[in-house]
Amino acid sequence: MSDQPSFAETSATQAASIASPINLILFSLLILFAYFRFRGSPPQTLPKGPEPIVFRTFTPLTLKPYNGENNMPVYLAVRGKVFDVTPGRNFYGPGGPYENFAGRDASRGLACGSFDEDMLTKDLNGPLDNLSGLGDAEMEALQGWEERFNEKYLVVGKLVPVSEAPNEAS
């Protein structure tokens, strides 16, 4: 017989050297490295968007609570359009220079450049201000304000007199 080991003995010796504890540990580490390197990243979660705003019909009475108090949004109306001016709460909300307009029709006050209470409609159940008595310069100023609001804020509804309000107006 020859001094060389048989094929079976050689295979068993090689298998034993491959399956040695150190090789098994190194192989396990390689598998773990590959797993952590190539695994997919967790799915990204999108930030939650703002609550949807439903276009509504407002009357002067139903618009009044939207004055920024008690964590309410700040809305104001200009020529029948109701704008959500909550992003400008520092100006239109409580304590701001335009706070008288919050929850109200601000058309006449903006046209005249006056923030006085006299510019607001007193009778919330009565007709809307038809802006009679305003001159061309005041109407032009009001148009400028309306354009600014259209560019900067969302229109969330329209303002109608109580007599034209649908039954479900809230």
The pTM for the full model equals: 0.68
Query: Cα 169–134–156 angle (5° rounding)?
Result: 25
Instruction: Please give the pLDDT value at position 170.
Output: 45
Choose the weakest-confidence range: 54-58, 92-96, 116-120, 144-148. Answer: 116-120
Tell which residue, 138, 137, 107, has the closest CA to residue 120.
Answer: 107
The CATH class that applies to domain 56-164 reads: alpha beta
Tokens 């303002």 found at: 159
Instruction: Please give the pLDDT value at position 119.
Output: 86
Q: Residue 160: pLDDT above 80?
A: yes
- Average pLDDT (90-113) is 93
Tell which residue, 111, 116, 50, 126, has the closest CA to residue 77.
Answer: 111
State the Cα–Cα distance between residues 36 and 44, nearest whole angstrom.
Answer: 18
Query: What is the residue-averaged pLDDT of the chain?
Result: 87
Q: Would you put residue 29 in left (φ > 0), alpha (ψ -120 to 50) or beta? A: alpha
DSSP H helices, the chain, are 7-18, 21-38, 60-63, 89-92, 107-112, 136-152
- Average pLDDT (70-86) is 95
Residue ranges of domains in the chain: 7-38, 56-164
Distance (Å) of CA 63 to CA 43, 104, 127? 42, 6, 14
- Average pLDDT (73-81) is 96
